[in-house]
């Protein structure tokens, strides 16, 4: 199976780079955000063929009871607030009739040891939540177990357009709460993410 590992930043997969090179597994650093992800991944897929795309990264969790560092599979991702304001309300892009906001990964049968990983929803944002007011609004609309990133929906969208199977996994580095860098556990999230990634890749080969 020919696999492409996709990440927004080198830092998120740096512990796995020697492993990927040793096992001759291709990887792509797209840059941060939907625009960079869409362009970089599309360009890559138009020059090389893959059987499976695996996007990995860190993200924020809306549920503050989950342990930081936990790895989740994102099975559906949504472009957050994609649409138009309507006076005091909001009309999403689907209601406007101009496109889609939700994109899903490819259903896949993972090796037994990975089949029990918790599957959650994601939202893809251009502005990470860090103010109490916006987080309160977020909680009114979405379930507690939600993971925030800046690339997930774009990754699924490109994979669907290019007709390539795709999976997304994220480790929780912080809670979606008023911005507090001292509470973040980025090193732990990156460590757990890369341990998971290497074990998954070995099981898929």
pLDDT, tens digit, 9 for 90 and up, residues 55-82: 999 999 999 999 999 999 999 999 999 8
**CA torsion angle for 110, 42, 8, 19 (degrees, to 10)?**
50
21 pLDDT above the threshold of 80: yes
At residue 109 the predicted structure's pLDDT band, cuts being 50, 70 and 90, is confident
150 pLDDT above the threshold of 90: yes
Rounded average pLDDT over 109-124:
87
Q: What is the DSSP string of 71-135?
A: EEEEEEEEETT-EEEETTEEEEHHHHTS---EEE-------GGGTTS-EEEEEE-SS---SHHHH
Report pLDDT for 78: 96
106 pLDDT above the threshold of 90: no
Q: Domains for the chain: give ranges and CATH numbers.
A: 3-204 (3.40.50.1580)
Rounded average pLDDT over 117-137:
94
Terminal-residue alpha carbon distance, the chain: 7
131 pLDDT above the threshold of 90: yes
Tell me the C-alpha distance between 22 and 78, whole Å.
35
Which positions ≥6 away from 125 have C-beta within 8 Å?
80, 81, 148, 149, 150
Report pLDDT for 113: 82
| Mean pLDDT (the chain, rounded) | 94
146 pLDDT above the threshold of 90: yes
Report pLDDT for 107: 75
205 pLDDT above the threshold of 90: no
174 pLDDT above the threshold of 90: yes
φ/ψ of 145, rounded to 5, equals -85, 95
At residue 88 the predicted structure's pLDDT band, cuts being 50, 70 and 90, is confident
Rounded average pLDDT over 15-27:
98
């Amino acid at each position: 199976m020919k696999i492409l590992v996709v990440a927004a930043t080198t830092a998120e997969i740096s512990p796995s780079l020697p492993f990927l090179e040793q096992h001759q597994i291709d990887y792509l650093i797209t840059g941060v955000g939907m625009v960079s992800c869409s362009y970089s991944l599309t360009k890559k897929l138009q020059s090389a063929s893959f059987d499976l795309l695996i996007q990995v990264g860190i993200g924020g969790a809306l549920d503050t009871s989950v342990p930081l560092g936990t790895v989740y599979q994102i099975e559906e991702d949504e472009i957050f607030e994609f649409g138009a304001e309507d006076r005091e309300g909001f009309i999403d892009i689907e209601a406007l009739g101009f496109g889609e906001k939700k994109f899903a990964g490819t259903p896949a049968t993972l090796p037994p040891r990975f089949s029990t990983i918790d599957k959650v929803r994601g939202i893809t944002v251009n502005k990470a939540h860090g103010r109490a007011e916006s987080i309160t609004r977020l909680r009114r609309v979405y379930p507690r177990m939600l993971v925030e990133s800046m690339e997930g929906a774009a990754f699924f969208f490109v994979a669907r357009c290019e007709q390539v199977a795709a999976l997304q996994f994220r480790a929780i580095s912080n809670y979606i709460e008023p911005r507090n860098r001292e509470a973040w556990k980025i090193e732990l999230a990156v460590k757990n993410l890369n341990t998971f990634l290497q074990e998954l890749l070995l099981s898929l080969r």
